Structure 1
Amino acid sequence: MNNTALSEILLIEDNPADARLIEEYITERSWPNIDRTAPAIEQADRLDSAIEIFDEQIDIVLLDLGLPDSSGLETLDRMLEIGELVPVVVLTGLDDEQVGVEAVEHGAQDYLVKDDITPRLLQQTLRYASQREQQQQKLRQRNAELALLNQVVRHDIRNDVAVILGWGDSLKDHVDETGADHLDRMLEAGEHITSITETVGDFLAVLEDNSDPELHAITLSSVLTNELEKARSAHEHATIELTGDLPSGLEVAATELLSSVFRNLLNNAVAHNDKPDPEIVVHVEEHEATVSVEVADNGPGIPDSQKREVFGRGEMGLASSGSGIGLYLVDTLVDMYDGEVVLEDNEPDGSVFTVTLNKY
């Protein structure tokens, strides 16, 4: 399928009257207003028969989901598996319009209610479905290219930063007190660059998965303890403490990317802190069906007018004046986990980020 002009359509319909009417509509005189010539039609009344005659010449598929040898969304799944790059338009009855909506959510390009079909509607639907499929193919190819480029760039950055950090550590015994302060700042900046590459990788993993994530049991104590140790190691000048009890067997509904939520909250609390000695307090509160994790800091705080923007919410998105991609990722992940993240003022100074997750 190299352009939006359709040359061959595969019609899969077991009702002879419906099949004959659709064929007439496709070859009706108004078609040349959309394409120069009406496309050829291959017709099958069984899914297995359609699969046998399917070839690379097929530009689009008109599919009835209620066939003698297959029914429902399983029919669509099998067709999409065979014709991965060919758009499918589903045909439904008047009482099955919701099935058509579900089919589109499942991968079909569009659906048509048989009793509502007109020649013009049929022809336009096929044309637009073909156009959308081509656009999506181009987008998928571009995304794959960008993902590969991102992987290569992040790999190279991490390698170069590792070299910088290695040589920086070796200089610690060769600089005076003033130089040591500058060196520490340089090493901290290098660690921050490494952290950013990890965050970008996590964010792309979320973007690349268009389906709803499969939530499963994640042990909160393991994730939180690990991220606290990493934060303390990366920010030796900051005080990072855990208050309250952290039950060892407590599980929440999430994915492995939950660690990125707390890593970014902790890094953000230190990176945007204007105090010479940043203080970060993490508190865990267990409720009947949920668990809340507070990350409080003694930084400059965030004005009420910017509390939504800091997550990249609303129209501003990633271009917000907030704290960058890290908090946007936090908000995105917590929303995927059917949880909530809230930003409030700390007393007397700073901010409190509260993440609420569902128990598993």
Structure 2
Amino acid sequence: MSNPNLTHILLVEDNPADARLIKEYVTEQSWPDIDADTPVIEHVDRLGSARKTATDDIDIILLDLGLPDSSGVETLDEMLGMSGSTPVVVLTGLDDERVGVDAVEHGAQDYLVKGDLSPRLLQQTLQYATRRERQQQQLQQRNAELALLNQVVRHDIRNDVAVILGWGDGLEPHVDEEGQTYLDRMLNAGEHITSITETVGDFLDVLEGTSDPELHPVDLESVLTNEIEKARSAYDNATITLTGDLHSGLTVTATDLLSSVFRNLLNNAVSHNDKPKPDITVHVEENEETVSVQIADNGPGVPDSQKNEIFGRGEMGLESSGSGIGLYLVDTLVTMYNGSVTLEDNDPAGSVFTVTLET
């Protein structure tokens, strides 16, 4: 394996014996693909000294969390804050290996147990940590470029579709009954394209989240009635009936993306319906600590073997055998809200999606 520019190591360790052993291990091991026989190792015994030493030419940092001027995860936090993109490998003792695991979850690239160290293990760990950090940086750069491309493409698509829909509306007085059928199909397809761009945008907002979402009370009545009205406008051949306990002041714990949950379920209920006039019933049931929203349709239904797969569970959404990104997004969002979404057969035909959310 090639060594990705691992020529300068910063060792932050206050125990002279441990520091001396690590220096010996670095010297003993043959390091490929660098100009010198071994990397240069810079040793400091205080976090304060590391602040002055953690310069851009440092390739990796070996960090003991128990220092005279700092201890515990706060030491790692400070080091990560000052080291920028330089990978950090934490050093732990035999009796606190769990600390190393926690450190990795907290942002360190890896950890080493001092009592288990060997020259070869030290080299491999530092090489792998450096390589992973570089790959993560490349992935972040690629994701940023893709996010920008997605933003531009979706913006251009929405603008072009808006122009097409405007031209279509202008054509209505000039087409006969047969032409009106094709014009309606064209306008519906345009609205569907716009809906897809919104769904993709919502999905990327979820994927790009760098921390847990801030859940807060969301007005269910406002969100649900708004999405029902939009669905009625988009699908004038469908009947959408609202029943149950929906009332002013009814809130659920979610985020502002809750509207995307119901938009996708309503679109799914109509777009996958094989009846000339889709019949959709939205029923709200309020319980002590939860609210359930059922969206029932009179479509073809879903075979039992596909009821779980349709959400893309256990698979990548776009690779799944389900109905596509819309239902995958629904399942992802509802799970994020600590809720659940289920699918059952409707009587006598069709499907019932039930979303249950905490109040």
TM-score (norm 2): 0.94
Structure 1 distance, partners of 2:299, 2:339, is 25
User: Tell me, what secondary structure is at the counterpart of 1:203?
Assistant: helix
Which residue number in structure 2 is paired with residue 4 of structure 1?
4
Which residue number in structure 1 is paired with residue 30 of structure 2?
31
Moved more, 243-252 or 259-268: 243-252
User: Tell me, what secondary structure is at the counterpart of 1:32?
Assistant: coil
1:355 maps to a residue whose letter is: V
- Aligned pairs for 1:94-243 (under 5 A) are 94-243=94-243
Which residue number in structure 2 is paired with residue 258 of structure 1?
258
- Aligned pairs for 1:285-304 (under 5 A) are 285-304=285-304
Which residue number in structure 1 is paired with residue 342 of structure 2?
342
Structure 2 distance, partners of 1:3, 1:264, is 48
In the alignment, is the contact (CA less than 8 A) between 1:219 and 1:251 conserved in 2?
A: yes
Q: Which ranges of structure 1 fall in alignment gaps of 5 or more residues?
A: none
Which residue number in structure 2 is paired with residue 44 of structure 1?
44
Structure 2 distance, partners of 1:221, 1:266, is 15
1:306 maps to a residue whose letter is: Q
In the alignment, is the contact (CA less than 8 A) between 2:92 and 2:100 conserved in 1?
A: yes
Moved more, 298-307 or 67-76: 67-76
TM superposition shift of 1:199: 0.5
Structure 1 distance, partners of 2:46, 2:234, is 63
User: Tell me, what secondary structure is at the counterpart of 1:27?
Assistant: helix
In the alignment, is the contact (CA less than 8 A) between 1:309 and 1:316 conserved in 2?
A: no
Does the C-alpha gap of structure 1 residues 204 and 316 become closer, same or farther in structure 2, counting only changes over 3 Å? closer
- Aligned pairs for 1:58-77 (under 5 A) are 58-77=58-77
CA displacement 1:165-207 (0-9 Å, x = unmatched): 1111111111111111211111110000000001011111111
In the alignment, is the contact (CA less than 8 A) between 2:317 and 2:324 conserved in 1?
A: no
Which residue number in structure 1 is paired with residue 15 of structure 2?
15
RMSD: 1.8
Moved more, 322-331 or 31-40: 31-40
TM superposition shift of 1:246: 1.1
Question: How many equivalent residue pairs?
Answer: 357
Structure 1 distance, partners of 2:20, 2:288, is 61
Structure 2 distance, partners of 1:96, 1:223, is 49
Structure 2 distance, partners of 1:176, 1:64, is 80
In the alignment, is the contact (CA less than 8 A) between 2:214 and 2:255 conserved in 1?
A: yes
TM superposition shift of 1:227: 1.3
Moved more, 241-250 or 327-336: 241-250
Say if 2:115 is the partner of 1:90: no
In the alignment, is the contact (CA less than 8 A) between 1:344 and 1:353 conserved in 2?
A: yes
Indicate the percent of aligned positions where both proteins have the same amino acid: 74
User: Tell me, what secondary structure is at the counterpart of 1:347?
Assistant: coil
In the alignment, is the contact (CA less than 8 A) between 1:34 and 1:123 conserved in 2?
A: no
CA displacement 1:250-277 (0-9 Å, x = unmatched): 3322211111111100111111011111
Runs of 4 or more, structure 1, over 4 Å off, are 33-36
In the alignment, is the contact (CA less than 8 A) between 1:219 and 1:249 conserved in 2?
A: yes
Which residue number in structure 2 is paired with residue 284 of structure 1?
284
Structure 1 distance, partners of 2:348, 2:226, is 29
TM superposition shift of 1:305: 1.3
In the alignment, is the contact (CA less than 8 A) between 1:238 and 1:270 conserved in 2?
A: yes
User: Tell me, what secondary structure is at the counterpart of 2:97?
Assistant: helix
Say if 2:236 is the partner of 1:245: no
In the alignment, is the contact (CA less than 8 A) between 1:46 and 1:67 conserved in 2?
A: yes
1:31 maps to a residue whose letter is: S
TM superposition shift of 1:289: 2.0
Structure 2 distance, partners of 1:356, 1:99, is 38
Does the C-alpha gap of structure 1 residues 329 and 45 become closer, same or farther in structure 2, counting only changes over 3 Å? same
1:270 maps to a residue whose letter is: V
2:31 maps to a residue whose letter is: P
Does the C-alpha gap of structure 1 residues 129 and 305 become closer, same or farther in structure 2, counting only changes over 3 Å? same
Structure 2 distance, partners of 1:151, 1:3, is 37
Which residue number in structure 2 is paired with residue 55 of structure 1?
55
Does the C-alpha gap of structure 1 residues 333 and 56 become closer, same or farther in structure 2, counting only changes over 3 Å? same
User: Tell me, what secondary structure is at the counterpart of 2:80?
Assistant: helix
Structure 2 distance, partners of 1:33, 1:259, is 55
TM superposition shift of 1:3: 5.9
User: Tell me, what secondary structure is at the counterpart of 1:99?
Assistant: helix
1:297 maps to a residue whose letter is: D
TM-score (norm 1): 0.94
Does the C-alpha gap of structure 1 residues 218 and 178 become closer, same or farther in structure 2, counting only changes over 3 Å? same
Does the C-alpha gap of structure 1 residues 170 and 3 become closer, same or farther in structure 2, counting only changes over 3 Å? farther
User: Tell me, what secondary structure is at the counterpart of 1:187?
Assistant: helix
Structure 1 distance, partners of 2:305, 2:77, is 47
In the alignment, is the contact (CA less than 8 A) between 2:245 and 2:284 conserved in 1?
A: yes
